[in-house]
Chain A
Amino acid sequence: MSASALISVDKVRRQYGRLTAVHELSFTLQRGQVLGLLGPNGAGKSTTLQMVCGVLAPTSGEIAIDGVSLAKHPLRAKQRLGYLADTPPVYPEMRVVEYLTHCARLRRVAGRDVAKRVADVIERCGLGDVRRRLIGQLSKGMLQRVGIAQAIVHQPQVVVLDEPTIGLDPLQILEIRRLIRRLGDDYGVLISTHILPEVQAVCDRVLIINRGQLVYDGPPVAESAAQSARIVDARFSQAVSAEHFTELQGLTAAKARSPQHWELQFVDDAAAQRALATAVSEGLAVRSWQPMEPSLEHLFMEIVTRDEIAAAAEAEVRA
């Protein structure tokens, strides 16, 4: 736990009745970082974010925002945060500018600064054209921008966004991601999502949680590119059977997607390159040979399925 961490979460547990949603979760967020909280639906992402923002109290454990304990000094800690929940917390009968003014006051922005901060945030989130519109009439993308604007209007140190791109069209998703990326320059940002490419697009670091437990904490791409490049996506012009690969040196596994489409795994990158040469020289008609991009998806699927298998095995032992 370094003192300079913007968010420090220490052994936090949260129970809903007898169900434990979050088990002993610990992590920190440093200044200038965009941290992604990734996990399947129901993994405990929203619960974790709600605890960080003081909406829910943890059953046990400590949370501090910029070194201020959320349990002991809730008002001081909350002044340092901005939060966008999974549904934007807006009042449909208010106008955008009225709503943001209300939020700024609610977050204790000094009276003389309110108008300026609201104008800044409208500019920053691209809300200029709709500032006089009723919030209830806005499109989902605009609504999400209003939600983000509300979370940063008081210039907090920490911005917490819960699934900020859910329900948006692809163009809007790109815009919101760009906005989040820019926020990362000035604030510490914590976002949750179940969309893998999103994490790769905007995060510096990723936490993967499954069933309320932290299963991965690290950069959003696998450790070394070479490690992932060992897997090759190969397509052939004719049907190919497993016997064709017996000659290939350094092949560790071959998985057939279809007779013409295989996923081949090699011991290292060099072996994969040699294998291509061998395959071509032996007259296999290779249509495409593509080393897989280092991907979080692999990592994620691996971790989550491994967990599922472990849980199933455990259940079997108990039975």
Chain B
Amino acid sequence: MILIIARREFGGFALTPFGPVLLAFCQLLLAYLFLSYVDSFLVRQAELAALPNSPGATQWVVTQWLAIASIVMLAALPLITMKSFSDEWRGGTMSLLLSAPASSLQIVLGKFIGILAVIGLIVATAALMPISLHLGTTADFGLIAAAMLGLFLLLMAFAAIGLYMSSLTRQPSTAAFSTFGILLLLWLLEWTVTDDITGSRAVFAYVSLFRHFQPFIQGQIVVADVMYFVLVCALFLGLTVRRLEAQRRFD
């Protein structure tokens, strides 16, 4: 049941012109950014090599590239999740799901997995870029794998938040913008955190999605960070289930 709903969710994205166009633009932006970091590495190669503990090509390019790429995705992800529930309500197809023998949890998980498939596609195609470094040098595949896992987890958390926002409104544009607002806020929280993370700053540091993303792009997989992303997903998916139940009862 979950997979049937997931397939439809993925189809709704892939079959409309909107999906492929969005994916194409994401790739274009990511590729341009990637190229500019490769270029900057080539320019400064000699300079960097002279440094003690000098960064390799993979490290230099991937770490900086994904720090910016995550912000590009912050703008793109709300557009992927905005239609999830809003469009079903607006187009009247929600009655199909709600009258089908599927529980609210199955509906939410189905939609979430459908979006994860889209995200998987984005991450997989994005991963081809750092892997292409291997053509000119020896790529650090460990670092690439950790970074791509981090990107996937980050986008997964974005998707859970977006899905919840989409369940709150019938207007996809409202869903998109409120998701974007929340994600941007979570990103800005990072700015208030300096190296001194004590007291209330520690709370901001903990909540900031990006702080938990950083270790991944430096090649570290920390269990606490993985758990953090899983918990964010669980929280927002749980809220979405509650929202669907409340809609049946009170709307």
Contact = CB atoms under 8 A, between A and B. Distances in A.
Interface of A: 16, 50, 53-57, 74-76, 78-79, 81, 83, 85-94, 102-103, 105-108, 150
Contact of A106 (B5, B11, B92): B5
Contacts of A102: 4, 7-8
A89 B72 CA distance: 34
Interface of B: 1, 4-5, 7-8, 11-12, 15-16, 91-103, 248-249, 251
A102 B3 CA distance: 11
Nearest to B245: A57
A150 B101 contact: no
B87 to A, nearest CB: 9
Majority SS at the chain B contact face: helix
A91 B1 contact: no
A81 B12 CA distance: 25
B17 to A, nearest CB: 9
29 contacts: A53-B95, A53-B98, A54-B99, A55-B95, A55-B248, A56-B248, A56-B249, A74-B103, A75-B102, A76-B101, A79-B101, A81-B99, A85-B95, A86-B92, A87-B92, A88-B92, A91-B91, A91-B93, A92-B91, A94-B11, A94-B15, A102-B7, A103-B96, A105-B4, A106-B1, A106-B97, A107-B100, A107-B101, A108-B101
A108 B96 contact: no
Closest 10 CB pairs of A and B: A87-B92, A89-B96, A85-B95, A83-B99, A53-B99, A89-B93, A55-B98, A78-B101, A75-B101, A79-B101
Nearest to B17: A93
Nearest to A79: B101
A166 to B, nearest CB: 13
Contacts of A76: 101
Given A55-B98, A57-B249, A102-B4, A89 B92 contact: yes
Contacts of B248: 54-57
Given A56-B248, A89-B94, 14 more contacts: A53-B98, A55-B94, A57-B249, A74-B101, A75-B103, A78-B99, A83-B96, A83-B99, A86-B92, A87-B91, A88-B92, A89-B96, A102-B8, A106-B8
A94 B98 CA distance: 20
Contacts of A54: 98-99, 248
* A contact face: mostly helix, strand, loop, or mixed: loop
A92 B7 CA distance: 16
B95 A83 contact: yes
A75 B92 CA distance: 21
Nearest to A87: B92
Nearest to A53: B99
A50 B97 CA distance: 12
A64 B97 CA distance: 19
Nearest to A52: B99
Contacts of B7: 102
A79 B101 CA distance: 5
A81 B249 CA distance: 20
Nearest to A58: B249
B62 to A, nearest CB: 37
A50 B249 CA distance: 12
Nearest to A95: B15
Contacts of A81: 99
B99 A90 contact: no
Contacts of A87: 91-92
Given A57-B249, A106-B5, A93 B99 contact: no
A316 B49 CA distance: 93
A91 B90 CA distance: 11
A26 B5 CA distance: 34
A105 B11 CA distance: 15
A78 B100 contact: yes
Contacts of A90: 91, 93
B92 A93 contact: no
A93 B15 contact: yes
Nearest to A56: B248
Contacts of A78: 99-101
A3 B92 CA distance: 33
A16 B248 CA distance: 11
Contacts of B8: 91, 102, 106
B1 A89 contact: no
B39 to A, nearest CB: 40
A14 to B, nearest CB: 10
Contacts of B95: 50, 53, 55, 83, 85, 89
A107 B1 CA distance: 9
A134 to B, nearest CB: 10
B102 A106 contact: yes
B16 A93 contact: yes
A256 B147 CA distance: 87
B192 to A, nearest CB: 40
A75 B5 CA distance: 15
